[in-house]
Amino acid sequence: MQPLLEGKTIALLFFNPSLRTRTSFEIGAFHLGAHAVVLEPGKSSWEMAFTEGEAMTGDAEEHVREAARVLSRYCDLIAVRCFPKFQDWGVDLEDRVLQGFARHATVPVINMETIVHPCQELAHALALQDHMSELAGKKYVLTWTYHPKPLNTAVANSSLLIATKLGMDVTLLCPDERYILDPVFMSDAQKNAHTSGGTITVSHDIEHAYKDADVVYAKSWGSLAMYGDWESERAVRDQYKHFIVDEQKMSLTNDAVFSHCLPARRNVKATDAVMDSPKSLIIEEAENRLHVQKALMAALCGAHTPATAI
Ligand code: CP
């Protein structure tokens, strides 16, 4: 443990639940000699408003304009987790909560998962680098998996972004075109691939996608094409339970490593055999959250850095 951040403080704002993110940030801060304060707006701290110019007649008692500036007087870093509201993708894509903090805070702001999950993508990249001598040119499959609820696209977006940055040949495997990710992230992934020498393709063919894969990364997400109409989407999603990652599919690969950001429903997203396989990186990837976030906090706090969001 190196007390690189002795005497520093970080506010961790959780609008949604967490096991890994909360624990790894709190313990990471402790390892660095810093102190972390966890706030849960709407529970243990005041509910907040984020719309500019609104009359605050609802349940919110304070606006991000004050909350971000007050926390900036107490803390050296602010970190925010706020998932989409799952009603209107156009609104969720604006990432209003994170952007509100980034706009009004005077200290760096870390994204702990909103519409992307950059800390997860760093931990994922580290796990892959630890297991594979060279990542460029390797076949990377991000596979959609079934889940009984529509989930956030954040990890899937981040997976495409990091794998294309690393020059991998990326396949986005999803049931049909309604599950393709937002054009903003598809386009950014395409640009990354162009720069890194990698590729990105979309496939709806399970066997073709798994064939000769070096990495299989699993995630479930709700259809953006049916966003907010979740009863209709459920009827579509329920047809695709066979997207589970199992031994038969993994046998088509080039002895691929498997990973998932966790939490993951066993025998729904991936079978016990895959989750517990020697090729499974799920626990290492989770451990890496601690290492990469310590590096991130030290980098953002250790030198004068203007307020920004990652
Ligand atoms: N992967 C991840 O962010 O886990 P938590 O939701 O438990 O923080």
Question: Which tens digits make up the pLDDT trace of 99-147?
Answer: 999 999 999 999 999 999 999 999 999 999 999 989 999 999 999 999 9
| Cα–Cα dist 218/203, whole Å | 14
CB of 121 shorter than 6 A to ligand 1: no
Atom 3, ligand 1: residue with shortest CA distance:
21
pLDDT tens for residues 179-201? 999 999 999 999 999 999 999 99
CB of 249 shorter than 6 A to ligand 1: no
Question: pTM here?
Answer: 0.95
Mutate to test the pocket of ligand 1, among 13, 15, 19 (most ligand atoms within 8 A of CB): 19
CB of 158 shorter than 6 A to ligand 1: no
Per domain, the residue ranges of the chain are 9-115+290-309, 118-279
Helices 154-165 and 118-131 pack at an angle, to 10 degrees, of 50
Q: In the structure, what pLDDT confidence band is assigned to residue 232 with cuts at 50, 70 and 90?
A: very high
Q: In the structure, what pLDDT confidence band is assigned to residue 304 with cuts at 50, 70 and 90?
A: very low
Atom 6, ligand 1: residue with shortest CA distance:
18
pLDDT tens for residues 8-52? 999 999 999 999 999 999 999 999 999 999 999 999 899 999 999
CATH class of 118-279: alpha beta
CB of 20 shorter than 6 A to ligand 1: yes
Task: Please tell me the CATH code under which domain 9-115+290-309 is placed.
Answer: 3.40.50.1370
CB of 119 shorter than 6 A to ligand 1: no
Length of the chain: 310
CB of 16 shorter than 6 A to ligand 1: no
Q: Which atom of ligand 1 is nearest to the CA of 286?
A: 1
> Is 151 in contact with 262 (CB distance < 8 Å)?
no
CB of 262 shorter than 6 A to ligand 1: yes
| Cα–Cα dist 36/63, whole Å | 22
Can 9-115+290-309 and 118-279 be said to share one CATH topology?
yes
Distance 194 CA to ligand 1 centre (A): 30
